[in-house]
Chains A and B, each alone.
Chain A
Amino acid sequence: MEDIKNIPEEFSFEKEKEIARSFSKRFQWEMILIGVGQATVWLSLWPLVINGYISLFFGSLIATICACFAYLPSHEAQHGNYSRGNPKRRWIDSFVSHFTLITIMFPHDLMRCTHMKHHAYTNNPEKDPDYDTASAKSLWEVITATQVGIKKYESIAEIFKNDNAFMKSFNKGVIIGMMYRVILLTLVVMFPLETLLLWWLPSKFGIIYLSTFFSWYPHYQADIGRYKDTKFWSHWMPRYLNHSMQLHFVHHLHPGIGHYDEPKAIEALKPFLIAREVPGAEDIPESVKYNPLIKR
């Protein structure tokens, strides 16, 4: 970890960790509700559309909203933020993540192992699995990067092929990914337009939304290093519509902080970030409320 000289003792890394830890204890029930809720709504769309209770286009709109809500509950699970180190609660991480990701056809194990590498090597052109979207020069490049599919994961596997724990999780994810493909191709033969508009297209929108707000905006043109690899950014959208990803900076510092506790955590950590001369830290509001969140 790089450090700036002359950091006063009151803003030491140990003190920073202590504050972060106080926001890393609460049970993340909101995320479970969102993850399980959106996947249940999405699953219920199929009989509702097929039996004609709602129109396919209305169903597609709801499915797209579900897809945009699908990743974050899994993201909390990938960091073990439901079980909080309790082995008896680990099933919650696994269940919530697998279930919520159905909407966007992502395998939990693949997401978890690549996301851990993203945290370990953020913005490293060779090793960060999200570098393709984070370094995109336009939204169109983000969109094309999300469509690379299997080739992207082949190159990631090549980089980390000697990491046994990574490859074990990766290969498990590949099998689930193939199962998704088989289910998709079976459903499309039976319900072609429903499969296109309830699953395939919404999942694409969900993945583009995810890559844009979770990867591109927070990491684009950011440097390498603990206090440099993620940036504060502003957007015309109310922060609730981009999942408060303007606060992604604090997630990279302390991934154990629950998503809905991040605003309070960043308020408490503001003096620490100013002491470390983090760009934009001075603009963090005293109380994080609506939007604009951070004016930089």
Chain B
Amino acid sequence: MDKFNEILTNHISNWNMVWFGLIFWGSVINAIAELYLVNNNSIFCYLFGFLLGVVAKIRGTWLWKI
């Protein structure tokens, strides 16, 4: 159980931004696209959210760096 907790904690610590981008921003972008686009493809919305998360992980922040 301790090993599982350690793996889970490490995974969340390293990949939380990517998961957050995929699920949270993907869902939000998809909902906005459904409102404003006629031909919406959900996969592209979630892919865009995923990419946002990857970029944030690489940069270490969601925001502009000073």
Residue interface bits A142-155, CB-to-B below 8 A is 1, else 0: 01100111110010
Residue interface bits B7-49, CB-to-A below 8 A is 1, else 0: 0000011001001100110011011100000000000000000
Once the chains are docked, how many angstroms separate the CA of A150 from the CA of B23?
Answer: 18
Closest residue of B by beta carbon distance from A137: B66
Number of A interface residues, CB 8 Å? 21
Give chain A interface residues in 143-200, CB to chain B under 8 Å.
143-144, 147-151, 154, 178, 181, 184-185, 188-189, 192-193, 195-196, 200
- Assess whether A188 is in contact with B66, with CB atoms less than 8 Å apart: no
- Assess whether B28 is in contact with A192, with CB atoms less than 8 Å apart: yes
- Assess whether B13 is in contact with A154, with CB atoms less than 8 Å apart: yes
Q: A178-B12, A188-B24 are in contact. Are A193 and B63 (CB under 8 A)?
A: no
- The listed residue (B16, B23, B24, B66) touching A144 by CB distance below 8 A is B66
- Assess whether B13 is in contact with A150, with CB atoms less than 8 Å apart: yes
Once the chains are docked, how many angstroms separate the CA of A151 from the CA of B14?
Answer: 10
Most buried by A among B27, B30, B63: B27
- Assess whether B66 is in contact with A200, with CB atoms less than 8 Å apart: no
- Assess whether B23 is in contact with A185, with CB atoms less than 8 Å apart: yes
Once the chains are docked, how many angstroms separate the CA of A141 from the CA of B63?
Answer: 11
- Assess whether A192 is in contact with B61, with CB atoms less than 8 Å apart: no
Q: Which B residues contact A (CB, under 8 angstroms)?
A: 12-13, 16, 19-20, 23-24, 27-28, 30-32, 60-66
A-B contact pairs, 27 of them (CB 8 A): A140-B66, A143-B63, A144-B61, A144-B63, A144-B64, A144-B65, A144-B66, A147-B61, A150-B12, A150-B13, A151-B60, A154-B13, A178-B12, A181-B16, A184-B24, A185-B19, A185-B20, A188-B23, A188-B27, A188-B28, A189-B27, A192-B27, A192-B31, A193-B28, A195-B24, A195-B27, A196-B28
Q: Which A residues contact B (CB, under 8 angstroms)?
A: 140-141, 143-144, 147-151, 154, 178, 181, 184-185, 188-189, 192-193, 195-196, 200
6 A-B pairs closest in CB distance: A192-B31, A192-B27, A188-B27, A185-B23, A192-B28, A193-B31
- A sample of 9 more A-B contacts (CB under 8 A), given A150-B16, A195-B28, is A140-B66, A144-B65, A147-B62, A149-B16, A184-B24, A185-B23, A188-B27, A195-B24, A200-B24
